[in-house]
Structure 1
Amino acid sequence: MIASLGMYDWPEARAETDRLWAGIAAALREQGFSQVPETLERSTCVKTHWRSPDLLISQTCGYPLTHEFDGYLELLAAPIYGVEGCTGAEYTSAIVVNKASDFAVPADLKGAHATYNGEDSLSGHLALRSVFAPLADNGRFFGRLSRSGGHPASMQMIADGKADVAAIDCISFAFGRKHRSHITDNLRVIAYSPSAPALPYVTRTGRPQTELHRLKLALAKAFHEPTLADTRASLFIEGLEFTSRDTYDRVLQQEADAAALGYAELG
């Protein structure tokens, strides 16, 4: 069985993530699941987990859920994060620039250099399209694009003056402020993207409804377990919401809205 929580698995918060998993694993065993992993899988790419028939629990992004991994993953629940930019089980991306720059509003970034974590990211790629689509001219707005490979790398590039703007998942930005303030102190937020459903917990598709129910019960217990309160707080987690897969159709709608404005691709 495979378990992974790779979306916000910052090295500085790994001990807290492991404690959260230990609580979830204990609750899973109470629900009758056998072969529950003692530790989270970190040696392989999360994309291999999301395709695996051995996947027990993972966390994914709304974009992979509705695109590449549609049909591979079953939605369990969405976390509620208590950081600026989040409301309930929804989140936004902070549009960040270098603190010393003159950029004040998104329109000021015409022709600028944008960096993003990856093309399959809602928070780092589609969020940029959503914010800048109304400002684009014949499908173009930025003068240069670069792929950083991750939100921490995007923040570092902006702080170092190697790029002008990025869209940073507001939970990742909160982790950056907590653990890498030497980077985020050099950044400034000029806008937020439209909100989207938070990064959900998932399992492999094809499980019986009885198993899905027990998985959800285990998550609910871990997310309300008093002895894990400090652990959840350190990870900015305030609760859990059981929502439907249809909620994530809003990701497709955001993509369609940008395309309707002539901004089908970031550019």
Structure 2
Amino acid sequence: MTALASLPMYDWPETQYFNDKLWDALYHSLNDHGVEAPKSLAREIDPMTIWRNPHLVLGQTCGLPFVNLLAQETALIGTPAYDIECGAGSYYSVLIVQEDADIHKISDLEGKTFGYNNSMSQSGYAAFHYHINAAGFSKELLSAEQHTGSHRSSIKAVASAQVDVAAIDAVSWELANRHEPATATIRILDCTAPTPGLPFITANNHKTMLKPIRSAIIEAMASLDESVRDELLLMGFAQTTEQDYEVIKSRFKSMGTSTKKTS
């Protein structure tokens, strides 16, 4: 099998052209550094399948599956930095509700329905539950949880009152403000504490190539046209470590410890 690459996390229809421009720069830079890379991104394969593939050269995953499932099978390269007013390599989630909803604090979520993209999502699921736990509430504050399948679907579900609240990572929220009309009827209820963002990974058998891979990424990002960086919100690249991501694992383990249920 040939080398594989995947950047699925922010690959919206409106950004695919720019992700292809990013990959083109990465492809040439990786090959210049002696790293064999595919000419195009793999978009037709399930992300988890790609992330665990031994031929993965570069992929972007979520912090929660990385710490819980992938850390032993992949090597962390680092983390892109995005223009979201957060520390380089970090991100946070916004908790969103309908503009006219009578929800103004966490306790107002009592009896409400929470919409989430995936139960293995740090930004869309774990961050929300950690946040309400930190406020003194457990998931029993809610009446129900509803799987939506994606951040964009969660935004639409809030706008259409299918769910009352959702957690959207700050990069997706900014993309939605640019490309998703449903945001017009939504407001931010609260923001979660920052955690390390969506990491770039490579298969374990490429671990000896981490230094040239990192160099190739940094050089490729520096070479991008300003329009591409703006459309993808890219600002740079942070050399994060596995230790940086331990906060996600510890917060995930702490979820559900609060005993307070209602206001």
Q: In the alignment, what sits opposite 1:129? A: 129
Q: In the alignment, what sits opposite 2:63? A: 62
CA distance in 2, matches of 1:43, 1:130: 33
- 8 Å CA contact 2:176, 2:183 repeated in 1: yes
One-letter amino acid of the structure 2 residue matched with residue 233 of structure 1: D
Q: In the alignment, what sits opposite 2:249? A: 252
Q: In the alignment, what sits opposite 1:213? A: 211
Q: Deviations over 1:99-126 (max 9, x none)?
A: 1211111111111011101110000110
Q: Bigger CA drift: 101-110 or 251-260?
A: 251-260
CA distance in 2, matches of 1:31, 1:137: 50
- 8 Å CA contact 2:89, 2:240 repeated in 1: no
Q: In the alignment, what sits opposite 1:186? A: 185
CA distance in 2, matches of 1:22, 1:133: 43
Deviation of 1:190 after TM superposition, in Å, equals 1.0
2:15 is matched with which residue: 13, 31, 34? 13
Deviation of 1:139 after TM superposition, in Å, equals 5.4
Deviation of 1:75 after TM superposition, in Å, equals 0.5
Change (3 A) 1:59 1:82: same
Deviation of 1:138 after TM superposition, in Å, equals 6.5
One-letter amino acid of the structure 1 residue matched with residue 158 of structure 2: I
Change (3 A) 1:134 1:11: same
Q: Bigger CA drift: 149-158 or 25-34?
A: 25-34
TM-score (norm 2): 0.94
Change (3 A) 1:256 1:208: closer
One-letter amino acid of the structure 1 residue matched with residue 225 of structure 2: L
Change (3 A) 1:71 1:138: closer
The SS at the match of 1:94 is strand
- 8 Å CA contact 2:92, 2:193 repeated in 1: yes
Could you list the runs of 5+ residues in structure 2 that have no partner in the other structure?
none
Q: Bigger CA drift: 16-25 or 127-136?
A: 127-136
Q: In the alignment, what sits opposite 2:229? A: 232
Q: Bigger CA drift: 128-137 or 25-34?
A: 128-137
Q: Deviations over 1:234-260 (max 9, x none)?
A: 100111111111100010121233343
Percent of residue pairs identical: 28
CA distance in 2, matches of 1:135, 1:250: 18
One-letter amino acid of the structure 1 residue matched with residue 177 of structure 2: R
One-letter amino acid of the structure 1 residue matched with residue 210 of structure 2: L
Q: In the alignment, what sits opposite 1:172? A: 172
Q: How many residues align?
A: 258
Q: In the alignment, what sits opposite 2:24? A: 22
Deviation of 1:207 after TM superposition, in Å, equals 2.5
The SS at the match of 1:140 is helix
CA distance in 1, matches of 2:231, 2:134: 37
- 8 Å CA contact 1:81, 1:236 repeated in 2: yes
Could you list the runs of 5+ residues in structure 1 that have no partner in the other structure?
none
Q: In the alignment, what sits opposite 1:203? A: 202
Q: Deviations over 1:46-85 (max 9, x none)?
A: 111011111000001100000122311211011111125x
One-letter amino acid of the structure 2 residue matched with residue 76 of structure 1: I
Q: In the alignment, what sits opposite 1:43? A: 44
One-letter amino acid of the structure 2 residue matched with residue 218 of structure 1: A
- 8 Å CA contact 2:115, 2:154 repeated in 1: yes
The SS at the match of 1:206 is helix
The SS at the match of 1:11 is coil
The SS at the match of 2:24 is helix
Q: In the alignment, what sits opposite 1:223? A: 221
Computed over aligned residues only, the root mean square deviation of the Cα atoms, in angstroms, reads 1.6
- 8 Å CA contact 2:138, 2:257 repeated in 1: no
TM-score (norm 1): 0.92
CA distance in 2, matches of 1:138, 1:55: 38
